[in-house]
Structure 1
């Protein structure tokens, strides 16, 4: 206890407060804290906000209760505590780091939180010397780095990067011209650095991309149209004139040739077209002609549709017969380069219509996703069909490209997430719309309720010899 008192006497000059309560609290503090040099606030800090001036010319702090001794005592003690608080010394932070700055500013060792308190006094003096040298150095500039606890902090470093010292010191007067100049110079330095690093061009490009996403002007149009536009085209409504033409064709004589496609040698008579009326089963001529029109649609707009091949309804019965089994030689010439102008392996998808007695289904060789798919509007499964198509594709690539293709890792998918029919006559219509939507790159986003519309639209496209 005597040793503590003698220490307090030696350091009494550091503490201007003579109040006994403060002296008692100072004894409880760690002794190492008084090895920091004395720092006094340049201005008296105001603890409380100004009190409202009363009409009598006195504020609340000087107002005394009339005849109240207790009120006078409390007011006097309040004034004394305010004066003591204004004179409290500022304490140093111990969480700063001082980095070695080289020969110009002297050798300073690293200080961290785990530094022993025995040498903090000497190190603090070295910090003051370094700060004074940094202030006197030529070409120093300041950069505002953070706003922490309401205090504006400035990083000071050499402009020529010859010093690695970073001194965090608060700017007490943020309204001064010097503080404003430092903030303005920091902003100019940051702007010039961003320009040198090319951030200006990046920001311009991002701005243009944002504008392109907000506005759909014609000169900003991408090579591929948005998915929403492609999906909307899959449900274009018929005009009144087109509906009239379809109804007139449904009423034509059985033998009347309504339209003939020269390249495929397919003729559509009144009787054949009437398979598209509600409640009728689709026949081979209508399905095959529609698939030819889908291929011509792809040739007109190759960037808009996937690259596909559409086999007709007779292909699979030639390739695989229930009596003779698998027979590649029966369809080998169907896909010659001279006949198609391309190899099947270069396509994204290959569509194969499957007719099973009185039911239409679809098989797909999905080269893009490396899998064999089977789509049945009744969600049936036929593994032997996909096995036969896997064997066919291997033989086809070997025959046309002389490459041994390994499809052992390709998947077999019996698609379950697909529109289902709820009657006994729309299976053919579901099959051709599976092909239509897949060739557009769309999901199967239609339902049974749209089948009457699809029947009329297919009839219109056949009569115009143009799929849309």
Structure 2
């Protein structure tokens, strides 16, 4: 009966008793401690002269003072261990970072704690700059550094700390130099520029669209424009297509046909186009630089075949009444040069104080630039009563320029040199653009308006 009664007896509830009762161990397991993770720290090396600090019961700041006065603040981990093992096991959270590990020494001779710094080599230089560093030659002892605790003020020599700091700093410097060598800064700048371009729409969507000046010389031609040029080429040769009243230049079908592929440009087409370039500048002075365009007969008058240099022959060409400005006020002055069967270009670059010569075959003619230097000095003296020392100006035979690949496009190259320079652009065209430029020039002449 006692056995039956004891079997039906309901025991009183006691959490502690249930946890400790052997029979209930499978029903009420004990609470396990958190998972433990091994943290490895270097063993203390006494042969390097490492001494120790007394045990501390909590985290404290330590100041590392070197032989040269190096002072570094750091934190040590508050750990109290009763025995020493070769591998210490410490409970840490997953998110915690262990920068310093305290290794306990339980030698019989002395009860000391050795502090060894576990430094991550890939630390940022900015973190290192937060440490206070000072140098003092008076603290130097046998090439070691002084470690001073704020509370106990006990000095400890610790060479490993300074060496680890030096290696970490050198590693950061090497990493920075490698990034620079790999062009990391350029890649970052390109990405930033791409981001700014992508955001550009949000900042200028309320503004009027700005036309790209660099694309204007290559603006596409409409089908109507191309058809009009073809019709003009096929008309009666003696028909006058357009007449420019101010310059008194007539363009007939026969003269316009020099713009067809494989033809040499004539004086009338070149001179009319230069007049249109000047009118374009007058319409939009803020868009084009201030230039003067001499016609194809100027240089042959200035330097005559029989008498040589003759300023009086062209003195009236540039009067204020005729031009409305002085040549010295221009940025660039363009002079077409006709050499028997070849067209080249000479430029008096007033703004940059130099004389330039452009030949699509990369030829050099120093005598042409000498004559123009003499002319400019005479012109400024005559019109402005100013002496200009052109001997200090530079002569430049432009070699980085689009080159001619055939025997008939020299005139088009000369016109486009002037067109691009008057826009303030570099010469960014090639021989492949010449068929397009021929049709476009014919279209602009037919409408008496350069674009």
Give me the TM-score of the superposition, normalised by structure 1: 0.59
Question: Are the aligned partners of 1:373 and 1:415 in contact in 2 as well (CA < 8 Å)?
Answer: yes
Question: Are the aligned partners of 1:40 and 1:89 in contact in 2 as well (CA < 8 Å)?
Answer: no
Question: Are the aligned partners of 1:272 and 1:283 in contact in 2 as well (CA < 8 Å)?
Answer: yes
Residue 215 in 1 paired to residue 200 in 2? yes
Deviation at 1:89, TM superposition (A): 5.9
Deviation at 1:128, TM superposition (A): 7.2
The equivalent of 1:231 in structure 2 is 214
Q: Distance in 1 between matches of 2:272 and 2:324?
A: 20
List gaps (5 residues or longer) in structure 2: 1-42, 59-77, 82-86, 93-102, 118-130, 142-147, 154-163, 166-191
Alignment of 1:301-316 (within 5 A): 301-316=284-299
Distance 1:430 1:87, change over 3 A: same
Partner of 1:88, secondary structure, is strand
Alignment of 1:79-158 (within 5 A): 88=113, 112-115=136-139
Partner of 2:345, secondary structure, is strand
Give me the TM-score of the superposition, normalised by structure 2: 0.61
Give the superposed CA RMSD.
4.2
What number of residue pairs does the alignment pair up? Answer: 321
Residue 295 in 1 paired to residue 278 in 2? yes
Deviation at 1:308, TM superposition (A): 1.0
Q: Distance in 1 between matches of 2:107 and 2:288?
A: 82
Question: Are the aligned partners of 1:39 and 1:90 in contact in 2 as well (CA < 8 Å)?
Answer: no
Q: Distance in 2 between matches of 1:367 and 1:86?
A: 89
Deviation at 1:312, TM superposition (A): 0.6
Q: Distance in 1 between matches of 2:265 and 2:341?
A: 10
Distance 1:463 1:409, change over 3 A: same
Residue of 301, 304, 319 corresponding to 1:321? 304
Per-residue CA shift, 1:95-123, capped at 9, x if unaligned?
9678xxxxxxxxxxxx7243367xxxxxx
List gaps (5 residues or longer) in structure 1: 1-20, 53-77, 99-110, 118-123, 131-147, 150-206
Deviation at 1:246, TM superposition (A): 0.3
Q: Distance in 2 between matches of 1:39 and 1:255?
A: 113
Residue of 248, 252, 268 corresponding to 2:231? 248
The equivalent of 2:347 in structure 1 is 364
Q: Distance in 1 between matches of 2:151 and 2:104?
A: 35
Q: Distance in 2 between matches of 1:278 and 1:114?
A: 89
Deviation at 1:50, TM superposition (A): 4.0
The equivalent of 1:145 in structure 2 is none
Deviation at 1:338, TM superposition (A): 2.3
The equivalent of 2:430 in structure 1 is 447
Distance 1:84 1:439, change over 3 A: farther
Per-residue CA shift, 1:137-175, capped at 9, x if unaligned?
xxxxxxxxxxx98xxxxxxxxxxxxxxxxxxxxxxxxxx
Question: Are the aligned partners of 1:44 and 1:86 in contact in 2 as well (CA < 8 Å)?
Answer: no
Deviation at 1:91, TM superposition (A): 9.8
Residue of 28, 45, 48 corresponding to 2:88? 48
Per-residue CA shift, 1:63-82, capped at 9, x if unaligned?
xxxxxxxxxxxxxxx99859
Per-residue CA shift, 1:342-371, capped at 9, x if unaligned?
221121111000111221111111122221
Deviation at 1:452, TM superposition (A): 1.5
Per-residue CA shift, 1:44-88, capped at 9, x if unaligned?
257834489xxxxxxxxxxxxxxxxxxxxxxxxx99859999951
Distance 1:273 1:86, change over 3 A: farther
